[in-house]
Amino acid sequence: MIDLIVNKTASLKNDLLSGLTVALALVPEAVAFAFVANVEPLVGLYAAFMVGLITAIFGGRPGMISGATGALAVVMVALVADHGVEYLFATVVLMGVIQMLAGWMRLGKLIRMVPHPVMLGFVNGLAILIFLAQLKQFGVRGEEGWLHGTFLEGSSVDVAWFEGSDLGIMLGLVVLTMLIIYVMPKITKAVPAGLVAIVSVSLIAYAMATYGGVDTVTVGDNAKIGGGFPEFHIPSVPLSWETLWIILPYSLILAAIGLIESLLCLRLIDEITETRGEGNRECFAQGLANTTTGFFGGMGGCAMIGQSLINVNSGGRGRASGIVAALALLCFILFASSLIEQIPVAALLGVMFIVVIGTFEWASFRIMRKVPGPDALVLVIVTVTTVLTDLAVAVIVGVIVSALVFAWTSAKRVRVRRSVKDNKAFYTVRGPLFFGSTTHFGEQFSARTDLDEVYIDFAESRVWDHSGIEVIDSLAMRYEKAGKKLHLLHLSPDCIKLLKRAGNLVEKNSAEDPRYFVADDELGG
């Protein structure tokens, strides 16, 4: 049973109206991302419709919007240029299969490995990317930008800016859209402010063109969006191993990026709505959507944070909002393309700039002075990496840096306390013994100057990996060469199993010895 209403703050009316608002915002985004991927606009629009509809019905996060995205489009460029659009469709089909396998294997829980500073950096970087992606709309298409001939040529800021009244009108309509969205909720929340802003500014632009002879840039100036219903189409590629090796690398990369973005979006919407989505279900739904859209001539997609925020901020909480957005988008393609083409780009830019303001975590500037230095550094690294590369790479880099920081901090927690009783040396080890702490651990022992009989107690420690095993073996060899007698207490059974030289020095106590597993290839085999 599919729930259209997910919590007490949701309503079918809000879902319908917010879905319509999102549908209007999806059109230029889908067209733009299609251009980025070097495919026809309808390829992006079909993807936005099919991915959005399927994930809205079967996904694990009601209220979240999916469709064609820029992060995926950037990866697709080289594939389309080298092999053509049919290989793209085949790649999207395989991408979806991989994502469904990830959901079936319950890999959605891996999103828990993303630390909060990485999440903040991801959100801030995304806000900057959304902002930069809109700048091209302030320039004349096909002309060289103001940074032509510099190392920034071709970047988001390399724009052939409008001049004079054209730029003034564009900025004025953008600001007016933003003001309506800001003021409207203070007057009434009966209808989404974004929808009111788009309709109002569109009417104003129409009046300016009709009675004042002032033309504004519209969606239709960028691309015609009219088309028919998507038709089932098996990708026209050879069924061979060669084809598989061409599309497999792209499919893996696209699947990873799509799942990372979708799960991070899910987590963000969870925090905003104070509800909890199902990560594994969302993984499967994303895969099902992409496999399906690949067979219907779409470029594939994933969750869209910008549109999801528009939906949530407009009151969309249930599955109906995503379903309405997708169906409305299809209706625009089939019946209302001429009307959508008349919407001023400035109105859509105003909506997206409001999304930028709402997406950026402004509190991060304040908390950076209060959180530990490494966490602040991770936040900045992820933000910068997101802007310079893409979201998936930024998250992976952030997780790696956070893991290294954690390892370095944990390495300092190993402590060795020495005591002497009856001419015997007793060492008590506290803290984790792993690759980061083995050097400090080994430096606490001097076999040459130690007493003849030595006991090392690991009851308050834990051996995490093979590096910890190796340092214990090395320590045993040092004491053996020095002619000293070493006793090892309270090691787990799998630790003892992996010891090569020190195994015979272990004193077993089945009642007191701990039981845990060591991360090691030998046990994995």
Q: Would you say 19 and 328 are in contact if contact means Cβ atoms under 8 Å apart?
A: yes
What's the total number of domains in the chain?
2
Domain assignment present for residue 278? The answer is yes
Where does a domain end: 322, 344, 366?
344
Domain assignment present for residue 421? The answer is yes
Q: What is the pLDDT of residues 64-94, one digit of tens each?
A: 999 988 778 877 888 988 899 999 999 999 9
Do 128 and 45 lie in one domain? The reply is yes
Domain assignment present for residue 381? The answer is no
Which pLDDT value is given to residue 510?
67
Residue 431: helix, strand or coil by DSSP?
strand
Domain assignment present for residue 46? The answer is yes
Do 418 and 334 lie in one domain? The reply is no
Which pLDDT value is given to residue 519?
67
Do 128 and 251 lie in one domain? The reply is yes
Domain assignment present for residue 393? The answer is no
Do 137 and 280 lie in one domain? The reply is yes
Do 117 and 261 lie in one domain? The reply is yes
Q: What whole-number distance in Å separates Cα of residue 294 and Cα of residue 231?
A: 11
CA dihedral (290, 293, 295, 297) in degrees, to 10, reads -130
CATH classification of the domain holding 423 = 3.30.750.24
Q: What is the pLDDT of residues 194-240, one digit of tens each?
A: 878 888 999 999 899 888 778 787 876 766 676 778 889 899 999 89
Q: Indicate the DSSP class of residue 506.
A: E
Q: Would you say 399 and 118 are in contact if contact means Cβ atoms under 8 Å apart?
A: yes
Do 237 and 325 lie in one domain? The reply is yes
Domain assignment present for residue 287? The answer is yes
- Domain range for 58: 12-141+153-161+227-344
Where does a domain end: 293, 314, 344?
344
The pair of structure tokens assigned to 304 is 């869209």
Do 135 and 255 lie in one domain? The reply is yes
Where does a domain end: 344, 361, 395?
344
Which pLDDT value is given to residue 2?
40
Do 116 and 247 lie in one domain? The reply is yes
Do 249 and 125 lie in one domain? The reply is yes
Do 22 and 119 lie in one domain? The reply is yes
Do 133 and 235 lie in one domain? The reply is yes
Do 24 and 114 lie in one domain? The reply is yes
Question: Mean pLDDT for each consecutive 10-residue tract of the chain (525 residues)?
Answer: 43 86 80 74 89 94 89 82 92 96 85 81 83 81 76 75 87 93 84 82 90 78 74 91 93 88 87 85 95 94 87 86 92 81 84 82 85 89 86 84 87 89 93 90 92 92 88 91 91 82 74 70 49
- The Cβ of residue 69 has, within 10 Å, a number of other Cβ atoms equal to 30
Domain assignment present for residue 232? The answer is yes
What is the DSSP track for 330-361? HHHHHT-HHHHTTSBHHHHHHHHHHHHHHHS-
Q: What whole-number distance in Å separates Cα of residue 133 and Cα of residue 71?
A: 12
Q: Would you say 492 and 518 are in contact if contact means Cβ atoms under 8 Å apart?
A: yes
Q: What whole-number distance in Å separates Cα of residue 208 and Cα of residue 203?
A: 9
Which pLDDT value is given to residue 114?
78
CA dihedral (137, 141, 143, 145) in degrees, to 10, reads 20
Domain assignment present for residue 19? The answer is yes
Which pLDDT value is given to residue 241?
92
